[in-house]
Amino acid sequence: MKDAGLEESYPVLKEEAGPLFSPSFALAEVFQHDSTFKSFHCEAVTFVQDIVYCYGTNRIDGVADQALVTYDYRRGLFAIPGANSKKKSKAGPEGLANCTIVRRRPANGAASAEVGVVTTFGGEIDSKTKTDKLWNFDPVAIKWDQVKAKGGTKPSPRTGHAACSSLDFTRMFVYGGLNENGQAESDCFVLTETDEWKPLSTAGAAEGPPARVHHTLTCGRSAKSSREKLLLFGGSSSGSGSGSNDLWIYDLKEEAWREVRDASGAPPRCRLKHAAAFADYRMWICGGVTRDWLRHVDLTDLHGYDIAANCWFACDVSLRVPRRQSITGTFGPAVVSPATQSVIVFGRCEEQSTVYCLAPLCTIGTITKVEEENHSAQDEIKEIFSSLQLALANTAKIGSSVSKVHQRVERAHAELDEVTKKLDACKAELSRTEKKGEEARAEILKRTDTLSEAITQLEKLSERFATLEKSIPDILRKLDAKVDKLEVAELNRALEATKQLGNLNQRNGRGRNRGGSTSESSSGSDLD
């Protein structure tokens, strides 16, 4: 019995159509007007039934945030899971650059066993921090859950590794990558459907692929065999340079690696950071980066490897880009459409993200599919017309609001003019006040100078008073001495006057004895 998941993810062309060997593809840029994807930087992609799940960075208003975006390639519509429903996605992994994302069907934990989950592993949170965490996103339950994997030996934190799932989606394989010490790894691990890590078994002494980073790992089988094989291609041992173009195949039944050196056809150029997908029993290699003599070169080619024929072939890609001579962006992650066999490439441009479609020129279609697409287009046109009518109604409301705002602005201008007049009056009054203030300041300075002179004179007078105070005792002593001398002189004068008076009295007595005339003449003589 054929596996339903195998048919939906790895479809083949009808037998009557025959295989497309060295096919031709028309490369066209898918027009995108959805803002959800324009700001989205896609890191990894995987198919879940008819929907492509893209994991990467969403840049909104200059802020980068990790996000999961779905892409309906039939209708060309992007969406964020649960954005328009009551089911909201819980918090998921933090900033996982260079991580991997694959579809799995674990034994437990999925809301739908048929749909399964989308699993991310590893990556770098920032330039210095790498992680080894596992996260499951359930498309039905619309939620993230961290997986607590079992197993004693499990992969270390890493980035730039490669991962893929088995054809029945029960196992996930992880190979290589850059560890926390900046060294490339060469180990390979298997995550079972019971969420248990195991090293990939290798039988015999044959060596496996060298350590590498930014390579690809896919799983597939040939048309005439049910034996699954892992195909590892390209990458670099350091994460830079021109990369490599060696191809290694691991047989899950024989449990052994072998390097493919005998394939016919020319292999792709050496490269890293390319994309790979397995469909129609072939591995498809798309894009990547290589290096020539002077610089790094972004590749926009497509190559195929037929696992049964052991043959490489280059696809003829013709551009269908109006008014351009070449693609302006670079090729990123890629998947193959189960229904149309088209290769869907998520590109990276300088300004915004874009989507490229590599459509095979030989395709198989039916009138029924055309009618379905026509009805779908009509429904979309009706939705656009309805949205346009709603936009016109909103425009009328906005016009009314703008008119009201204009009236308010005019009133605000009038009030602003009145405030300006009052402000001019206040400026004039302030100028007059400043002038008076300058005059008062000059007067204060003048009086301050006068006061300073008075203070100086007062200080000098204080010095004189101090000097005088010191000389008062000497003055008092001198005054006491002078008083003593004056009293003695006064006393001497008094004694002299007394003596003279006594002599006079004696003379007067002798005169009375001599007679009056003689007395008078003596008196007159004495008086003389």
Q: What does the DSSP 8-state code read for residue 271? A: B
CA distance 443 to 370: 101
Per-residue pLDDT reduced to its tens digit, 174-205: 999 999 998 999 999 999 999 999 999 887 66
3-state class (DSSP) for residue 137: strand
Mean pLDDT of 377-399: 89
The H-or-E segment that residue 129 falls in is: strand 129-130
How many whole angstroms from its chain centre is CA 461? 78
Looking at residues 95-110, what average pLDDT do you find?
88
The residue to which tokens 């709603």 are assigned: 390
pLDDT tens-digit profile of 28-40? 777 665 665 666 7
C-alpha triplet 311, 314, 319: angle, nearest 5° = 160
Predicted local confidence at residue 100, as pLDDT: 93
- Return phi, psi of residue 104, to 5°: -135, 160
Does residue 355 sit in helix, strand or coil? strand
| Cα–Cα dist 193/527, whole Å | 169
pLDDT above 60 (res 517)? no
* Of residues 217 and 322, more confidently modeled: 217
CB atoms within 10 A of CB 318: 10
Q: Please indicate whether residue 144 or residue 328 has the higher confidence score (pLDDT).
A: 144
Quote the longest CA-to-CA distance of the chain: 207
Q: Helix crossing, 367-514 with 516-527: angle to 10°?
A: 150
Q: Which long-range contacts (CB under 8 A, 24 or more apart) does 116-119 make?
A: 116/48, 116/169, 118/46, 118/48, 118/53, 118/55, 118/68, 119/147, 119/172, 119/191
Cα–Cα dist 301/320, whole Å: 14
Residue type, 384: I
Q: Sheet holding 24-30: strands in order across?
A: 316-320, 24-30, 353-360, 343-348, 330-336
**Could you tell me which residues come within 8 angstroms of residue 29 by beta carbon, excluding any fewer than 6 positions away?**
321, 327, 347, 354, 355, 356, 357
Which has more confidence, 487 or 110?
110
Name the residue type at position 377: A
Encoding tokens for residue 63?
């802020």
Total count of residues recorded for the chain? 528
Average pLDDT over residues 117-133: 90
* Joined tokens for residue 367: 């009138």
Q: Which residues make beta-bridge pairs with 196? A: 150
Do residues 316 and 22 lie in contact, with contact meaning Cβ atoms separated by under 8 Å? yes
User: How far apart, in whole angstroms, are the C-alpha atoms of residue 111 and residue 140?
Assistant: 6
Q: Of residues 213 and 490, which shows the higher confidence score?
A: 213
Among 299-308, 345-354, 483-492, which is the least confidently predicted range?
A: 345-354
pLDDT band at residue 248 using 50, 70 and 90 as cut-offs: very high
Residue 265: phi and psi, rounded to 5, are 85, 165
**pLDDT of the residue at 84:** 65
pLDDT band at 460 (very low <50, low <70, confident <90, very high): confident
Dist. CA 15–CA 164, nearest whole Å: 28
CATH of 4-362, one of 2.120.10.80, 3.40.50.1980, 3.40.50.720, 3.90.550.10: 2.120.10.80
pLDDT of residue 527: 40
What pLDDT score does 349 carry?
56
The CA angle 507-508-509, to the nearest 5 degrees, is 90
Q: Is 195 in a helix, a strand, or coil?
A: coil
Do 121 and 174 meet the contact criterion of CB atoms below 8 Å apart? yes
Rounded to whole angstroms, the Cα distance separating 434 from 436 reads: 5
Residue 189 and residue 155 in contact, taking contact as beta carbons nearer than 8 Å:
yes
The pairing of beta strand 316-320 with beta strand 24-30: parallel
Asked whether the predicted pLDDT for residue 13 surpasses 50, the reply is no
* 212 has pLDDT over 50: yes
Share of residues in the chain with pLDDT > 90 (%): 38
Q: State pLDDT tens for residues 329-348.
A: 567 788 887 777 778 877 76
pLDDT band at 526; cut points 50, 70, 90: very low
pLDDT greater than 60 at residue 458: yes
> What's the chain's average pLDDT?
81
Is the confidence at residue 417, as pLDDT, over 60?
Answer: yes
pTM for this entry: 0.63
Contact 346, 329 (CB under 8 A): no
What strands, in cross-sheet order, belong to the sheet with 275-279?
A: 275-279, 282-286, 302-306, 311-314
Q: Are 341 and 280 in contact (CB under 8 A)?
A: yes
Tokens at residue 262, please? Answer: 């005998």
Reading the block at residue 251, the tokens are: 């047989």
pLDDT, residue 38, reads 66
Examine the pLDDT at 300 and tell me if it is beyond 50.
yes
